[in-house]
C-alpha cells in the first residue's frame, strides 16, 4: 500500500457523517486513493541478485554527493531532509504509489486503518476557529461525562483552543492520549450562560469503518463501507447478519469514496457474496513470491439475493477488487461512475531508521483478467489530475464520454462485455450532481457554515426535537426560505458569497443537508443517512435497480 492518509480527526469521522459530494472532495479523494490502496503482509527484505553492481554504484554515488553537500556547500543544509526528498523523487519515478514514510509520521499514517484508538469520543465541527460538538459518540467517555451536541470547546487540558487557529488534526491530537488518562475540557453551553469544566477519562474508542447499516424498507438493506481497515470484515459481517435477522432479502453496498485498505479484508467481504470456489482476485509481480490467487472459501451470508454496489471516482484499490469480482461473476449490478483505477499492490517494509517503505511489488487483476490500474501518464502531476481531467472531458456527466480500448475487452461469467484499462466501469451510469459539486455549495460545507447553522438550530430547539420521534421529524420538518436566507447571510459574513440565483439553485440540496445535520445531532447516524437519501440520486437509482427483478436479470445477462 502506498502512504496512508493524513491525520484523521478524533474520531476518524470527526467531520462525519461526511457531506455527500463536492468539489472539495477532489483533493481528498486523490490523497486517500494514493494513500490507502491495497496493503499486503510484510515480508523480510530480500535484496535482488539480478543487478548488484549497478545498485552498489548508485548507492556510492548518492552517498558521495550527499557527503560533499553536507561538508562543502556554501550554506548549512538539512541533509536528512535532502535525503527524504531524493528518496521521494526516486520512488515517484517508479510509480505514483510507492512511497517512503518517515518514522515520525508512521503512527499518524497507520491510524487510518486501525480499528480503535484511545481518546474521548467527540465528533466536532470547526467554525470561526471554534470547536463545536456535533455529537459525543454513543457510550463513549465524553457522553458519559455529560458532553452534549452544540457544546463549544474553549480549552483542552488547560490549553486554549478557541481562537487559537489550530488545525482539525492538531485538535484531534489534543483529545487523544493514553487509555485511562484524564482530560479536562472547558465548555460553553449556550442555554446556561456560563462555562463548564468537565473531566473526561480517555478510553478505547471504536474506529468503525461501517458508516451506516440499516433497512431502507422491510426487505432492502443499505451498508456503507468507508475503508477496509483491520476490523472492517468483522464489522461488516455483524451488520449483515443483523440486517438478515430483520428481514433483509436485497442489499445496496455503498463503496463510494472508499480508498481501499487491507486486501484480505476486502476479499473476505467479497466472499460473503460469491459462492463456490470462484476466483476473487489475483496478483502478478516480478517474482513468483509476489504472485497470488485468492478464491472464495466459505459459505457466505448473502450468496443469493439482489445486490447492487455503488461506486464512483473515489472508489479505489481494495474497493475496486470487490466491485470487479462481483461484476465479473455477474453477482451484482454496479451503479455510479468509473472507479479511480488503482491496481498496484504495496508491501510495507520497515527500515532501520524506523521509517517505512511501501513498495509496489505487484499488479492485481479481476477474475476475468482485467488490470484495474490506469495509465500513469507523463508525470506525477498528470496522474494526480486524472479525476479533474475526467470532469473536463465530460466523463462525470455522460457515459458516452468514456472511451474504451477494444483490445482490453473481457467477458463476465455470463458473457457480458466489460473493459480493462483503468478503473471499473459500472453497469448503470449516474451523472454526478452538478449542484452538489458547485463552488458555492461545496464551500458552504467545507467552511463548516452549514453544520454550524444546523448546530445552532439544534441548540435553540432541543426541547422540541426531543419531543418528536425521528419518523415525525422526517415527515414534517422543513427548512424555511427565511432560514435559507439567514444561512446565506451568515455565509457571506464568512466570505462565502453568492447571488440570489445561486442560492435558489442550491436550495433543495441545502434544505436536505441542513435537515440531515440536525437529525444527526438529535437522532444519530442512521437518521442522518436516512434524510440524505432523499436527495442522493445515485442511491435512489441503486434502490430502484435492486428492487426491479426483471432489470436485474437483464443487466446481469441471466
Residue numbers annotated as active site: 317, 328, 342
Report the sign of the C-alpha dihedral through residues 72, 76, 79, 81, in that order.
negative
Query: In 3D, which of 470, 471, 474, 451 has the Cα closest to residue 150?
Result: 451
Chain position carrying cell 453551553: 189
Count the Cβ atoms, other than its own, within 10 Å of residue 338. 24
**Strand (E) or helix (H) holding 181:** none
Q: Which residues contact 374 (CB under 8 A, 6 or more apart)?
A: 340, 341, 342, 343, 386, 421, 422, 423
Q: Which residues contact 116 (CB under 8 A, 6 or more apart)?
A: 204, 205, 206, 207, 231
Q: Are 416 and 556 in contact (CB under 8 A)?
A: yes
Quick one: cell of 500?
440570489
Q: Are 274 and 328 in contact (CB under 8 A)?
A: no
Quick one: cell of 264?
484480505
Q: Are 449 and 126 in contact (CB under 8 A)?
A: no
For residue 363, count CB atoms less than 10 angstroms from its CB and return exposed for 0-12, middle for 13-18, buried for 19 or more.
middle
Helix 500-523 crosses helix 525-532 at what angle (to 10 degrees)? 150
Quick one: cell of 332?
451484482
DSSP string across 274-301: --TT-EEEEEEESSGGG-EEEE--S--T
Report the sign of the C-alpha dihedral through residues 183, 188, 192, 195, in that order.
positive
**Strand (E) or helix (H) holding 134:** strand 130-136
Query: In 3D, which of 332, 270, 327 has the Cα closest to residue 301?
Result: 270
Q: Are 435 and 509 in contact (CB under 8 A)?
A: yes
For residue 73, count CB atoms less than 10 angstroms from its CB and return exposed for 0-12, middle for 13-18, buried for 19 or more.
exposed
- How much of the chain is helix, strand and coil, in % rounded to 5? 40, 20, 40
Quick one: cell of 533?
437519501
Q: Is 513 helix (H, G, I), strand (E, B) or coil?
A: helix
Alpha-carbon gap, residue 277 to 298, rounded angstroms:
8
Alpha-carbon gap, residue 269 to 422, rounded angstroms:
23
Quick one: cell of 325?
469480482
* Paired strand residues for 294: 281
Amino acid at each position: 500500500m502506498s502512504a496512508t492518509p493524513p491525520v484523521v480527526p478524533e474520531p476518524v469521522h470527526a467531520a462525519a457523517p461526511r457531506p455527500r459530494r463536492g468539489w472539495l472532495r477532489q483533493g481528498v479523494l486523490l490523497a486517500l486513493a494514493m494513500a490507502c490502496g491495497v496493503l499486503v503482509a510484510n515480508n523480510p527484505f530480500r535484496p535482488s541478485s539480478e543487478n548488484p553492481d549497478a545498485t552498489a554504484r548508485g548507492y556510492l554515488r548518492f552517498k558521495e554527493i550527499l557527503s560533499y553537500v553536507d561538508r562543502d556547500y556554501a550554506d548549512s543544509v538539512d541533509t536528512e531532509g535532502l535525503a527524504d526528498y531524493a528518496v521521494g523523487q526516486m520512488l515517484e519515478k517508479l510509480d505514483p504509489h510507492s512511497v517512503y514514510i518517515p518514522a515520525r509520521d508512521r503512527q499518524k499514517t497507520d491510524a487510518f486503518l486501525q480499528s480503535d484508538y484511545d481518546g474521548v469520543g467527540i465528533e466536532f465541527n470547526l467554525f470561526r476557529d471554534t470547536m463545536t460538538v456535533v455529537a459525543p459518540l454513543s457510550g463513549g467517555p465524553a457522553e458519559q461525562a455529560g458532553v452534549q451536541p452544540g457544546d463549544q470547546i474553549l480549552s483542552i487540558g488547560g490549553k486554549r483552543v478557541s481562537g487559537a487557529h489550530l488545525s482539525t488534526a492538531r485538535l484531534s491530537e489534543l483529545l487523544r492520549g493514553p487509555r485511562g488518562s484524564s482530560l479536562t475540557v472547558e465548555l460553553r453551553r449556550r442555554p446556561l450562560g456560563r462555562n463548564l469544566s468537565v473531566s473526561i477519562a480517555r478510553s478505547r474508542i471504536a474506529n468503525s469503518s461501517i458508516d451506516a447499516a440499516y433497512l431502507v424498507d422491510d426487505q432492502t438493506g443499505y451498508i456503507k463501507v468507508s475503508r477496509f481497515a483491520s476490523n472492517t470484515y468483522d464489522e461488516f459481517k455483524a451488520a449483515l447478519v443483523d440486517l438478515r435477522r430483520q428481514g433483509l432479502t436485497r442489499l445496496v453496498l455503498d463503496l463510494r469514496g472508499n480508498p481501499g485498505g487491507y486486501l484480505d479484508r476486502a476479499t473476505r467481504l467479497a466472499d460473503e457474496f460469491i459462492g463456490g470456489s470462484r476466483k476473487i482476485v489475483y496478483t502478478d509481480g516480478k517474482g513468483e513470491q509476489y504472485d497470488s490467487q485468492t478464491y472464495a472459501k466459505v459459505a457466505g451470508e448473502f450468496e443469493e439475493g439482489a445486490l447492487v454496489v455503488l461506486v464512483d471516482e473515489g472508489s479505489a484499490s481494495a474497493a475496486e477488487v470487490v466491485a470487479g469480482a462481483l461484476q465479473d461473476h455477474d453477482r451484482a449490478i454496479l451503479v455510479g461512475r468509473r472507479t479511480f483505477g488503482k491496481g498496484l499492490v504495496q508491501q510495507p517494509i520497515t527500515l532501520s531508521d524506523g521509517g517505512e517503505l511501501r513498495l509496489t511489488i505487484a499488479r492485481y487483476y479481476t477474475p476475468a483478467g482485467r488490470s484495474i490500474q490506469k495509465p500513469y501518464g507523463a508525470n506525477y502531476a498528470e496522474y494526480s489530475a486524472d479525476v479533474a481531467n475526467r470532469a473536463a472531458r465530460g466523463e462525470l456527466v455522460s457515459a458516452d464520454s468514456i472511451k474504451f480500448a477494444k483490445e482490453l475487452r473481457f467477458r463476465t461469467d455470463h458473457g457480458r462485455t466489460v473493459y480493462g484499462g483503468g478503473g471499473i466501469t459500472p453497469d448503470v451510469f449516474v451523472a454526478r450532481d452538478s449542484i452538489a459539486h458547485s463552488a458555492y455549495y461545496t464551500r458552504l460545507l467545507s467552511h463548516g457554515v452549514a453544520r454550524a447553522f444546523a448546530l445552532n438550530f439544534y441548540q435553540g430547539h432541543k426541547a422540541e426535537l426531543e419531543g418528536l420521534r425521528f419518523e415525525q421529524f422526517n415527515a414534517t420538518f422543513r427548512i424555511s426560505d427565511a432560514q435559507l436566507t439567514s444561512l446565506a447571510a451568515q455565509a457571506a459574513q464568512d466570505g462565502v458569497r453568492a447571488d440570489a440565483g445561486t442560492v435558489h439553485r442550491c436550495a433543495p440540496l441545502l434544505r436536505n443537508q441542513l435537515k440531515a445535520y440536525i437529525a444527526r445531532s438529535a437522532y444519530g447516524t442512521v437518521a442522518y443517512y436516512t434524510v440524505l437519501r432523499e436527495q442522493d440520486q445515485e442511491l435512489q437509482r441503486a434502490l430502484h435497480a435492486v428492487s426491479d427483478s426483471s432489470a436485474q436479470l437483464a443487466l446481469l445477462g441471466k
